[in-house]
Amino acid sequence: MSAPWFVDAVFYEVPVYAFFDADGDGIGDFAGLTDKLDYLEWLGVTCIWLLPFYESPQRDGGYDVSDFKSVLPRYGTLDDVQQFLNEAHRRGLRVIADMIVNHTSDQHPWFQEARQPGSPMRSRYVWSDTPDRYRDARVIFTDTQDSNWSWDPVADAYYWHRFFDHQPDLNFDNPGVRDEIEDVIRFWLTLGFDGLRLDAVPYLYERDGTNGENLPETHAYLKRLRSMVDTEFNDRLLLAEANQWPEDVVEYFGDSDEFHMAYHFPLMPRLFLALAQGDAGIVVDVLDRTPEIPDGCRWGIFLRNHDELTLEMVSEVERECMWQHYAPEHSMRKNVGIRRRLAPLLGGDRRRIELLDVLLLSLPGSPFLYYGDEIGMGDEHLLDDRDGVRTPMQWEDSPNAGFSTAEPGDLYLPIVSSQEYSPAVVNVASQGDDADSLLHWTRRMLSIRADLPVMGAGGFLTIPAADPAVLCFERIAADTVVLVVANFLDAPVRCALDVDDPPTMVLAATPGASIDGSVITLDPYGWAWFSGSRP
C-alpha cells in the first residue's frame, strides 16, 4: 500500500490576509492567493495551510470565528475560495484549512443568543455561578488573562474560556455542539479542502478535578470526527494542534483512528536551544523520548509559525536561556514565548538558517514552512500581540513591497521597516534573480528532497557522534539510507560517528563537509546529506 499523500508533503503556512492583495484594499485576499500559486508551485511546496478565513471580528487573527460556514468578505467569496482550490488542485497542490473547534467569538450568534436569560442556546457554552470551578485548568494566555472565567452581566453568570475572554469555549457535553462542529468539518471538506488543522484540540471538555486537557471525552469526540471523515471522504487529512509532551500528543493519533498528523511541539524550541548552546544533546534527548506513532500517522515539524515561538514545553532554566539568547529585549517576548521570525532569531546568519532548515527537511515528520521564511523575512516585534510575525509578504523592492496598491497607511499591518529586513533588502524578486539567494537555496533543497522518498516514509535512527556539537541520524528505507549530519557549533568539527559502513555520496552539503571512514568533517554550522544503498 502506498503511503498517504501527507507523508511526503511539504506544507506552506500562509494567512490569506498576508500574501497578496488583488483588489487593492490593503489586505490580502483569495484572488491574490490564486495569483501567487505559480510562485508556490515554483518553490516546490506541495500543500498550503490557510489560517482561518471565516467571518470574525478579527480580535485573534481570525481564530475568533463568528460564522463557521462563511468567508470574511474582505478576503472574497465562497466562489473565490472554490476557484482558489480548483487552481491549486490543477497544479497538483493540496490545501488544508484551519478550523477552530474549541471556541467561538463572543460575537457568534450562538453566544449572543446563549447569553439571553432562558435561551435554549445557553448550554452551547460553559457557564457557572462562581469562578471557582475547574481550578486545576491552567491559564494559557498568561500575559492577558488572569482567569479562565469571565463575568457576563446579560447572562448573569461566568462563562468559560481557555484563551481570550472574547472567545467563549463551546460546551461539548451539548449534543447540538457536537453535531454542528461535525457539520462544519463536513462543509469545508465537501467544498474540496484536502484536510483541516483542528485548533486547540486538547481543551474540548471540562471535568472537575482535572486540568481539562487530553480528557478521554475529548479523544472520544475526535475519534467520532475521524470516523465521519473516513466514511464520507477519501484521502483527507486531520491535523491536530496540541501543544503537549510527545507522550500526550501520541494519544491524538489514537489507534490510527484519531488524527493523521500532529505537530511535534517539544522538538521545535530544542532545535533553537541546541544552536544557542552549541550542543545537540537536547535534540537527541527529545527524539529518543518521542514514542513510536501508529502506521499511517505522521509528525508535523516546524521552526516558526504565526504564533509566538512557544516555550511551554521546556524547563524554566531552558526558557530563561532561550529568552536571554533569542529575546534580549522584553518587547520580543510574548506569553510563554518569543514573537520573532526565523531570520532575525538567527541573527540573519545564512549558515544558521540553513542548518535549521536542513533539519526541518530531514527529521522524521512533514515539514511546515512559514510564509516569508524562504526569503528570510524580518519581523516588527513592537506591533501588538503576534502581529509582528504576520506582516505583508515582501514581493519586491517598493514601498508596499509589491503586496498591495493601497496607500501604505491603509495596509492591514505595516511592511517591515528595519533597515536590515525592509523590502529594499529582502524580497522575492531580487532573490529570484540571484541563484545564490536563500530563496533559490530553499527551492533547490526542496527539489532534492522531493527525489528522496526516504525523507518521507523512511525510518529514523539517531547515530552517536563523538562530539556533542554534532547531531547525526539516518533516514532508512528498504534499499536506501540517507545520513544527516549537522554541526551546532560556530567552529569546525572533526569527529567519529558510531556507524558501520556510512554512506558517502554527497546529496547536499556545506563546502567543507566530508566523510572519511566513519569520521566526519564539517564547517562551522556545517551540515551534509550523504546517501548510500543498503543491501
DSSP single-letter state for residue 73: G
| DSSP code string of 239-287 | EE---S-HHHHGGGGTTTTS-SEEE-TTHHHHHHHHHHHT-THHHHHHH
User: Is 33 a binder of ligand GLC (CB under 6 A)?
Assistant: no
Helix (H, G, I), strand (E, B) or coil at 351: helix
Helix (H, G, I), strand (E, B) or coil at 371: coil
Closest distance to ligand GLC from the beta carbon of 388 (Å): 13
Closest distance to ligand GLC from the beta carbon of 220 (Å): 22
Each residue 181-200 as x (binds ligand GLC by CB under 6 A) or -, in order, gives ------------------xx
Residues in contact with ligand GLC, counted by CB under 6 A, come to a total of 10
Q: Within 375-414, which residues bind ligand GLC (CB under 6 A)?
A: none
d(CA 388, CA 386): 5
Q: Which is nearer to ligand GLC, 106 or 199 (CB)?
A: 199
Closest distance to ligand GLC from the beta carbon of 306 (Å): 6
Active-site residue flag, 199: yes
User: Is 53 a binder of ligand GLC (CB under 6 A)?
Assistant: no
Are the C-beta atoms of 150 and 128 separated by less than 8 Å? no
d(CA 347, CA 361): 21
Q: Within 197-256, which residues bind ligand GLC (CB under 6 A)?
A: 199-200, 241
Q: Which is nearer to ligand GLC, 200 or 282 (CB)?
A: 200
User: Is 61 a binder of ligand GLC (CB under 6 A)?
Assistant: yes
> Which residues neighbour 63 within 8 Å (Cβ) at sequence distance 6 or greater?
52, 56, 98, 100, 163, 167, 199
Q: Which is nearer to ligand GLC, 52 or 392 (CB)?
A: 52
Each residue 69-108 as x (binds ligand GLC by CB under 6 A) or -, in order, gives -------------------------------x--------
Q: Which is nearer to ligand GLC, 111 or 163 (CB)?
A: 163
Active-site residue flag, 182: no
Closest distance to ligand GLC from the beta carbon of 62 (Å): 9
Q: Which stretch binds ligand GLC (CB under 6 A): 60-68, 282-290, 370-378, 507-515?
A: 60-68
Q: Which is nearer to ligand GLC, 241 or 374 (CB)?
A: 241
Q: Which is nearer to ligand GLC, 272 or 302 (CB)?
A: 302
d(CA 420, CA 428): 15
Closest distance to ligand GLC from the beta carbon of 200 (Å): 5
Using CB under 6 A, pick the residue from 60, 194, 206, 380 that binds ligand GLC.
60
- Kindly state the cell numbers that stand for 381: 516585534
Q: Which is nearer to ligand GLC, 64 or 467 (CB)?
A: 64
Q: Within 303-332, which residues bind ligand GLC (CB under 6 A)?
A: 306-307
Which candidate in 241, 354, 374, 467 is catalytic?
A: 241
User: Is 13 a binder of ligand GLC (CB under 6 A)?
Assistant: no
Q: Which is nearer to ligand GLC, 20 or 302 (CB)?
A: 302
Using CB under 6 A, pick the residue from 6, 17, 54, 63 that binds ligand GLC.
63
Closest distance to ligand GLC from the beta carbon of 342 (Å): 17
Of all residues in the shown chain, the one whose CB is closest to ligand GLC is 63
Exposed (0-12), middle (13-18) or buried (19+): which is 69, by Cβ within 10 Å?
middle
Q: Which stretch binds ligand GLC (CB under 6 A): 55-63, 122-130, 224-232, 436-444?
A: 55-63
d(CA 421, CA 439): 15
Are the C-beta atoms of 4 and 261 separated by less than 8 Å? no
For residue 94, what is the enclosing H or E element?
strand 94-100
User: Is 163 a binder of ligand GLC (CB under 6 A)?
Assistant: yes
Q: Identify which of 529, 532, 530 has the alpha carbon closest to the alpha carbon of residue 361.
A: 529
Q: Which is nearer to ligand GLC, 203 or 529 (CB)?
A: 203
Q: Which stretch binds ligand GLC (CB under 6 A): 58-66, 224-232, 373-381, 388-396?
A: 58-66
Q: Within 461-520, which residues bind ligand GLC (CB under 6 A)?
A: none
Count, in order, helices (H) and strands (E) of the chain. 16, 22
Closest distance to ligand GLC from the beta carbon of 260 (Å): 19
d(CA 263, CA 267): 9
Q: Pairing between strand 261-263 and 298-302?
A: parallel
Exposed (0-12), middle (13-18) or buried (19+): which is 121, by Cβ within 10 Å?
middle
Helix (H, G, I), strand (E, B) or coil at 84: helix
Residue 57: count of CB within 10 angstroms of its CB: 14
Q: Pairing between strand 337-338 and 493-496?
A: unpaired
Closest distance to ligand GLC from the beta carbon of 102 (Å): 7
Q: Which stretch binds ligand GLC (CB under 6 A): 56-64, 120-128, 274-282, 505-513?
A: 56-64
Phi/psi region, residue 360 (left: phi>0; alpha: psi -120 to 50; beta: rest), is: alpha
DSSP single-letter state for residue 376: T
Binding stretches for ligand GLC (CB under 6 A): 60-61, 63, 100, 163, 199-200, 241, 306-307
Catalytic machinery residues: 199, 241
